[in-house]
Amino acid sequence: MKKNILLYITIVTIFSINIYSQKAKLATADKEYDGYAYVDAIKTYERIAEKGYKSIDMYKKLGNAYYFNAQFDNAAKWYGELFTLDTSNLESEYYYRYAQSLRAINQNDKANEMMELFNQKSSNDSRAQLFKKNTNYLEAIKANSGRYNIEDAGINSIYSDYGTAIYLNKLVFASARDTGSLGQRKHKWTNQYFTNLYSADLADDMTPSAPKKFDGTINSKFHESTPTFSSDGKTMYFSRNNYLDGKKGKDGNKITLIKIYKATLENDKWTNVTELPFDSDNYSTAHPALSPDGKTLYFASDMPGTLGQSDLFKVTINEDGTYGTPENLGNAINTEGRETFPFINDENEIYFASDGHPGLGGLDVFMSKINEQGTFSDVQNVGADVNSPKDDFAYLIDTKSRRGFFTSNRDGGQGYDDIYKFLEKRRLISEQLLYGEITDVKTKELLANTKITLYDNQFKVVNNATSDDNGKYSFTVEVGKTYSIKAEKPEYTTKEEKITISAANEKTYLPIALEKEICKVAVGDDLGKCFGIKMIYFDLDKSNIRPEAALDLEKILDVLNQNPTMKIDIRSHTDSRQTFKYNEALSERRAKSTINWLVKNGIDQSRLSGEGYGETQLVNKCSDNVVCTEEEHQLNRRSEFIITDL
């Protein structure tokens, strides 16, 4: 019995030690995970998982560790294990990450299933709305593909190489390549060396030469990456871990985050390295990008006011070198996911990487046009040449040569991230000219200085213009898009036109004729033309005044009240598609109904006369037995309000 008791105690003790050991390892892994030591955490979690230990929290962290290191095949594996457990209380974000991971390994059907579930759990999330709105997004990506020649940039190592900028005919980029130093340090998150900036001379076809270290003042013992340079080459902004003048900053969790720094060139040396005033120890700012005019700095951040995991922001650079208040680019660009690595070219296009907009998996590169008002056109995926199921980001293009660079960790590369160069053979946006002239509808006079506003199909302002001395206007517009155009001029009634830009045309012509607000009329004129009243609407074969007709009659009523001596003759006409006698009687009843409505609303009967003319005064060829369109018949069904006395 003692032996049995001893054996039992021994078994319990060993079991307890195993449980304690696993929990201790989990605690170590959790600490490494929370400190962004993802590679070490993966090893610990996986060893425990291989022993059959299951945990929602552990599977989350395993999936996340791979997801945030862009190893989507392994992320899909562990998120898959997570979804074998009870997911009733699982945060919706894991449905999205699992979908993204599945898409990265080309399991699109399963990915779509997870997105449907994500949509059910989080329908207000912009990523769910974008997925629902763009269910055929793969077709759109396909249409944008086949536009590039892509090849290895020739500067990659077996380590991480990414994030390019052009400076004085050089390519500047970040690299984690080993320089041979015994003191070279590795980052726990990726197990890669900390990155420094390197540069390579560019040939005429933008082929880089052998790279070398960029600058000893800029490079430190921590990460430097993603530089951007002013057009005169004397100012640079770059990303670095929170480290300056030998001091390392940390947030409340003792994590060293990322900041944007500025440096100036003096005597061919980079100096005056300073952090920007909107940097913080408690959030990251990174991946700066200057507008071509140098007046605006774009960047990525998770600062307060961020809509998702990271957003794109912009900040004004004042003439005295100070900065405005950072402004979120808004939900036209940002989602609840990650938006990062902005680039702005001299054609007012913003390129950026996102895992929130519909893509092929991981980060994809997207583009949007920046309108004059600072609004953004629809975001477009640049296509499957640049984008892959893995992470694709840090896109840069020279608008003159259409050559550029981007970074990807796609299969077939040399290292963790690789830089690729490209030639764009066909532009993403097909544009054409929308033009016309503004005239007076009656006199045909060309109207100069007319304000023209261009709206997209969501009625957001795209552009503004003013007609020239010849009444002409023009806009650059995108093929396939639908626009509204509003023309405004003092003393004229504002007019809106809607138009879809057809690919069948090289340019689109849209004249706009405006009517005077003050309508000058004389005896014999049709008062209805002042308000564009073509007919008073009745139900089919009836003479009751319909509600929508009452609005037009209110206009006639108001004019009669404002002009108490005015008299009108109300004339009702039909088309020919009934018998002559029927049309005559119907039009007579309708004329009388119109008169009765005006009398009922206070107009003296003596000021009104009326008659039904049936089909006796057709304005075109559409008489009996003549084949006509509905539009042609419509011209004959009209109401007239002829002024007989003033």
> Could you tell me which residues come within 8 angstroms of residue 496 by beta carbon, excluding any fewer than 6 positions away?
484, 485, 486, 487
pLDDT tens-digit series, residues 41-56: 677 778 878 888 888 9
Instruction: Please provide residue 154's backbone torsions phi and psi, each rounded to the nearest 5 degrees.
Output: 85, 10
Q: Please, are residues 453 and 461 in contact by the beta-carbon 8 Å criterion?
A: yes
The amino acid present at 301, given as its one-letter code, is: S
pLDDT of residue 587: 83
Question: Tokens in use for 36?
Answer: 């962004």
State whether the Cα torsion 353-354-357-362 is positive or negative.
positive
What is the structure's pLDDT at 621? 87
What pLDDT does 573 receive? Answer: 84
Q: Is 399 exposed, middle or buried (0-12, 13-18, 19+ CB in 10 A)?
A: middle
Return the amino acid letter for 73. D
Position of tokens 């078994």? 11
Let me know: does 409 contact 389? Beta carbons within 8 Å: no
DSSP state of 372: T
Structure tokens at 140: 């759109």
pLDDT of residue 301: 95
pLDDT in tens, 457-471: 888 899 999 999 999
State the residue for tokens 């009452």: 550
Cα–Cα dist 14/29, whole Å: 22
> How much is the pLDDT for 66?
84
Average pLDDT over the chain reads 84
CATH number of 431-516: 2.60.40.10
Residues shown for the chain: 646
What residues contact 343, with CB distance under 8 A and at least 6 apart?
289, 350, 351, 352, 394, 395, 396, 397
- What's domain 525-645's architecture? 2-Layer Sandwich (3.30)
pLDDT, residue 108, reads 85
Mark out the alpha helices in 355-482 (DSSP H runs): none
Residues of the chain with confidence (pLDDT) below 70? 1-41, 178-192, 503-504, 534-535, 537-549
| Residue 585: its H or E element | helix 580-600
Q: Which CATH class is domain 1-123?
A: mainly alpha
User: How far, in Å, CA of 568 to CA of 98, rounded?
Assistant: 73
Domain ranges of the chain: 1-123, 155-424, 431-516, 525-645
Contact 473, 486 (CB under 8 A): no
Query: How buried is residue 509: exposed, middle or buried, by Cβ count under 10 Å (0-12/13-18/19+)?
Result: exposed
Extract the tokens encoding 590: 């309708």
Strand order in the sheet with 608-614: 608-614, 567-573, 639-645
- Quote the DSSP letter at residue 525: -
- Contacts for 577-581 with beta carbons within 8 Å, 24 or more apart? 577/633, 578/615, 580/614, 580/615
Strand, coil or helix: 252: coil
Right CATH number for 155-424 from 3.40.640.10, 1.10.10.10, 2.120.10.30, 1.10.3720.10? 2.120.10.30
Hey, how many other C-beta atoms are within 10 angstroms of the C-beta on 124? Answer: 7
